[in-house]
């Protein structure tokens, strides 16, 4: 088991690769450059480019909020490899990646496992559940290596239009959860004039930093997340920043806790949405591309929040294949279902609180590309969804 996303413990993984012939490697959002050879079996409920489509991958379908249960009961770690900050007052911080790691440490200790940490001056010290006592670390090595940074994602006209449509429906004072990608970034681009926003999210990137600097986020609030996914500027800002609270997955992704946030607004992206308001955000050509991640946790939590809403966003048309992303039935496995709104550059389809027929009609007339609407109407009528 190793820290994932942009906290990959590269030095520790290199040592494991040199000295252990066969091992299972459990990571979330694994990046390129991890050990990749016969004898190394990948395990993950959420895939990054380092594991995606690998023939030695054991994909484990699981909501992010339940991954700690997997580690406790089904995939007990023998060794946990961590990437942390420099030592401060007898503690190290897991920095940009807290996530499921506290649960992994606890599961390993119950299993008489070993905790190894590489301490790095370039890892920010963040406060919260990622602060680990040196007493919990069995072995510690010192490294000085750059952290991976998120690539810049250009925002095209489609993303910006979708972002604007969503931002128009988000009230001042709302609490935001934003996924990864161009569309969540575009939403942020359209929200700099908002006031009193709050952040309770699985992860955040540089866009949230810009909202904080612009004054759109309530200055008295804390920004709660489980991991960070951004630039060196973001990491430097988060270092020793008491406004940033990094919590374990069991807190950030608990739908019950999410539902208690003021006007909780969940904004995620999908690959396809069908006329039954089922979204695929995980599979391409029958193979897992990412996984459920935390979107399912936040969709449920947002729907239960007073004044909350769940937005599922996507372009209406897939340019490369020349096909509609709003379909009659999903061609892949469903990641989530029942959202407040489905948003494309064509408009906003209201889904929650509508009958099945109204929901389908709204998706066709307000979200689907004009070139796809007639075929979707015909399919919906043939299936009895529309009269």
Active site residues: 202
Largest CA distance in the chain: 68
For residue 44, the cross-strand partners are 59
Burial of 133 (0-12, 13-18, 19+ CB in 10 A): exposed
For residues 113 and 108, give the distance between their C-alpha atoms in angstroms, rounded to a whole number.
4
Tokens 């406060």, residue? 127
Tracing tokens 């992704």 back to the chain, one arrives at 253
Alpha helices in 74-156 (DSSP H): 101-110
Question: Cβ of 214: how many Cβ atoms within 10 Å?
Answer: 13
State CA 125 to chain mean position distance: 21
End-to-end Cα spacing for the chain: 53
Determine the length of the chain.
Answer: 387
C-alpha to C-alpha distance for 198 and 225, rounded to whole angstroms:
11
List, in order, residues 6 or more apart from 360 with CB less than 8 Å away.
Answer: 275, 276, 380, 385, 386
The angle, 0 to 180 degrees and rounded to 10, between the axes of the packed helices 182-189 and 157-167 is: 60
Buried/exposed code over 276-315 (b: 16+ C-beta within 10 A; e: otherwise): bbbbbbbbeeeebebbbbbbbbbbbbbbebeebbbbbbbb
Provide the pairing of β-strand 131-133 with 198-200. unpaired
Backbone angles phi, psi at 163, to 5 degrees: -60, -40
């Amino acid at each position: 088991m190793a820290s994932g996303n942009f906290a990959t413990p590269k030095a520790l993984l290199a040592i494991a690769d040199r000295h252990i012939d066969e091992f299972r490697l459990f990571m979330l959002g694994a990046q390129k450059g991890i050990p990749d050879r016969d004898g190394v079996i990948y395990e993950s409920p959420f895939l990054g480019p380092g594991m995606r489509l690998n023939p030695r991958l054991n994909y484990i379908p699981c909501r992010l909020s339940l991954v700690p249960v997997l580690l406790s009961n089904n995939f007990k770690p023998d060794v946990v490899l961590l990437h942390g900050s420099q030592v401060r007052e007898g503690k190290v911080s897991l920095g940009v990646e807290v996530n499921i790691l506290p649960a992994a440490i606890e599961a390993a200790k119950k299993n008489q496992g070993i905790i190894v940490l590489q301490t790095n001056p370039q890892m920010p010290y963040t406060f919260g559940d990622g602060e680990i006592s040196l007493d919990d670390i069995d072995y510690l090595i010192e490294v000085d290596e750059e952290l991976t940074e998120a690539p810049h994602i250009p925002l095209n006209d489609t993303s910006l239009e979708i972002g604007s449509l969503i931002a128009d429906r988000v009230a001042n004072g709302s609490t935001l959860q934003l996924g990864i990608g161009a569309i969540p970034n575009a939403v942020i681009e359209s929200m700099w004039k908002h006031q009193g926003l709050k952040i309770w999210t699985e992860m955040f990137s540089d866009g949230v930093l810009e909202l904080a600097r612009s004054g759109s986020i309530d200055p008295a609030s804390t920004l709660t997340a489980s991991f960070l996914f951004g630039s060196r500027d973001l990491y430097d800002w988060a270092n020793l920043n008491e406004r940033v609270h990094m919590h374990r997955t069991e807190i950030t992704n608990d739908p019950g806790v999410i539902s208690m946030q003021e006007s909780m607004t969940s904004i995620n992206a999908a690959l396809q949405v069908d006329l039954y308001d089922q979204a695929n955000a995980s599979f391409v050509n029958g193979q897992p591309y990412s996984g459920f991640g935390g979107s399912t946790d936040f969709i449920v939590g947002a729907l239960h929040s007073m004044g909350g809403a769940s937005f599922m966003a996507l372009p209406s048309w897939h340019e490369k294949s020349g096909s509609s992303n709003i379909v009659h039935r999903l061609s892949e496995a469903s990641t989530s279902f029942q959202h407040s709104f489905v948003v494309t550059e064509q408009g906003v389809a209201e889904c929650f609180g509508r009958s099945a027929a109204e929901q389908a009609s709204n998706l066709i007339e307000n979200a689907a590309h004009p070139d796809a609407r007639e075929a979707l109407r015909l399919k919906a009528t043939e299936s009895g969804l529309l009269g």
